[in-house]
Chain A
Amino acid sequence: MSQPVANCPNCGAKIVFRWSSSVQTVCDFCKSILVRTDVDLKKVGQVADLPPDSSPIQINTEGKYGNKAFVVVGRILYEYDQSGWNEWHVMMNDGSSAWLSDAQSEYALSLSSKAPNLPAAAQVHVGQQFTWNNQTYTASVITPAHYRGVEGELPFQYWDKADVTFVDLRTESRKFATLDYSDPEPALYLGEFVEFDDLKLKNLRSFEGW
């Protein structure tokens, strides 16, 4: 496995990329947010300490999705008025990457997907239907969330966001879709809800008393 190695421009610590396509990572020592350029790493910011949370998943948690093994390499933490959720960036053993979301122990796996003519945030309303890959999705919740922090490796630069709008789309099966309006161009993620037991997770956090 190729693990590009570099040094943190801030503190000099060794930075190991577990996923060769990672664009951004966080230095484990000085918590600098580092972005990969063609030649070296550039410090673009500093992460504040993430609030204590209760996700059983952590960086380096391993699991299985279908017949593919994956390892958690990064994370984005979002908050909204009710609560928060984690989007764990996972690296599959075939070199692709995916997102494992954990919202109050409801787990889902999704992949970045391409579709033409994605609607603008203002054009979407609850109940509206969309068809992608021959599957009809119904917009169920529009969540104005805010970015709370990052950890580990990510496939894009993501460190200076504030408010982010998400549209959750459901189906009558386990499949779901998310429209992500973090960037000017909407991004589409297609995925499905998964059972905790089916993920066969290893290297989970332990909880006092459990």
Chain B
Amino acid sequence: MSTGAPPLSGPPKPQARALNCPKCGAAITLRSFGQAVTVVCSSCRCILDAKDPNLAILQQFEIKTSDVKPLIPLGTRGKLRGTDYEVTGFQRRSVMVDGITYYWHEYVLFNPYKGIRYLSEYNGHWNDISICKTLPSADGGGATYLGEAYKHFQSADANTDFVLGEFPWQVRVGEKAGVTDYVHPPRVLSSEKLEKEVTWSIGEYMYGREIWDSFKLPGDPPEAMGVYENQPSPVATNVTGMWVAFAAFAVFLLLLMGVFDMRAKKEPVLQQTYRFDRAEVKGEPSFVSDEFALTGRTSTVEVKTFAPVSNHWIYLNYALINQDTGQAWDFGREVSYYYGHDSDGSWTEGKQNDTVVIPSVPAGHYYLRIEPEADPSLPSIPYTVEIIRDVPVFGIYGIAFLALLVPVVIICFRAYTFERSRWSESDHPPVQLSSGSGDDE
């Protein structure tokens, strides 16, 4: 500091001013110092000129219901994004859509250094709002702000119908502003048009719990009802990313299939044609095949059956028996093929081929016991049995594919229904898919 200079007297330290309503005499406190432009007397509902030392009356309003009460009382302080703010003003606003009036509440927050900020609340949904410092650009369908695209949500005329406390602008009950909201969850970009002045603000969605914690309010916040315009989706935020991940897994599965298919030896170990002849079958119909060896590692064994059935069936009771250990795998296969014509045209059912895979068969000497049964109307039929060792199994990939697909589809469906209910409240409701699905309220 310079020497000899007189001490700066400076203006007096600003403090909350205590005044009295010129109409009813009730005490009025100005909490936002010089930033208050209008202040409302809470007892006689006068809107007063806060800039006037005599608090000239600007408007008096009446409210039919007495239950318009701020959820955060005026004068409450809380920490929002690291800064202390005091609630200095409260207003209720409404829009009328299709003959129904919707109300929401706005809170004016004040910090003498950081200035004014706002909170809005609608049906338990909160937004932390501040005035845009840079100019968004808007066209009919959307707006761009700080390089981010926002979708048009709703345009409506907002009416101010109840005010309390102080406002940094000339507030009046009954004043209408053209409000347009553009969304990019969790943010909402709003323009408010009042006569020739347009004010842009940017809001970010907040949960009631965060507000309650910030302002240390007792009890619980009112439960949020429905889906709000900029409410972040509780479902996976990045549906596209999920599909990309899914596609990557699918490709991985295909690669895995390819690798295992290449590694599989697909080694034929037995191929034999037998004949079922009812006339010859006397007593015990079962017989055994030639012996064959399975070599190499424990692997799958595929048993293929072919029979030229035609509107018949043949049933084969198989047992794959390890000659060395006596271990047996019993299984029965049916080969049937039917076809015909009916009123819907021609039809077929079944196939002349059957394939079955037995997993994890160790190396050793084996034979197949076969016990055929056949359609009683079938006197005689040939059938071929083929055994192939070490075949790739693809069924497991199908299961894995489905196991991956199902959650992705469920999440996408949930994301879709959430977005549907969000947009059903907008100027651009989603098209109803069918008359029966009109239940998304």
Contact = CB atoms under 8 A, between A and B. Distances in A.
A207 B13 contact: yes
Contact of A82 (B4, B8, B37): B37
B299 interface: no
A83 interface: yes
A65 to B, nearest CB: 16
A28 B15 contact: no
A205 B135 contact: no
B113 A170 contact: no
Contact of B14 (A141, A174, A207): A207
A161 B137 CA distance: 36
A28 B9 contact: yes
B37 A28 contact: no
A173 B14 contact: no
Interface string A118-151: 0000000010000000000010110000000000
For chain B, give the interface size range. Answer: 35 or more
Interface stretch (B27-35, B120-128, B207-215, B287-295): B27-35
Given A52-B14, A54-B33, A204 B113 contact: yes
A14 B113 contact: no
B115 A104 contact: yes
A56 B34 contact: no
A174 B112 contact: no
Contact of A28 (B6, B16, B111, B169): B6
Interface in A8-57: 13-14, 16, 18, 28-29, 50-56
A171 interface: yes
Contacts of A54: 14, 32-35, 112
16 contacts: A14-B6, A50-B11, A52-B11, A54-B14, A59-B10, A82-B169, A104-B115, A173-B134, A193-B133, A193-B134, A205-B13, A206-B13, A207-B14, A207-B15, A210-B111, A210-B113
Interface of B: 2, 4-6, 8-16, 32-35, 37, 51, 84, 111-116, 131, 133-137, 168-170, 196-197
Interface of A: 3, 13-14, 16, 18, 28-29, 50-56, 58-60, 82-83, 104-106, 126, 138, 140-141, 170-174, 193, 196, 204-210
Given A28-B9, A82-B37, 8 more contacts: A53-B11, A56-B112, A56-B113, A106-B115, A170-B134, A174-B133, A174-B134, A205-B14
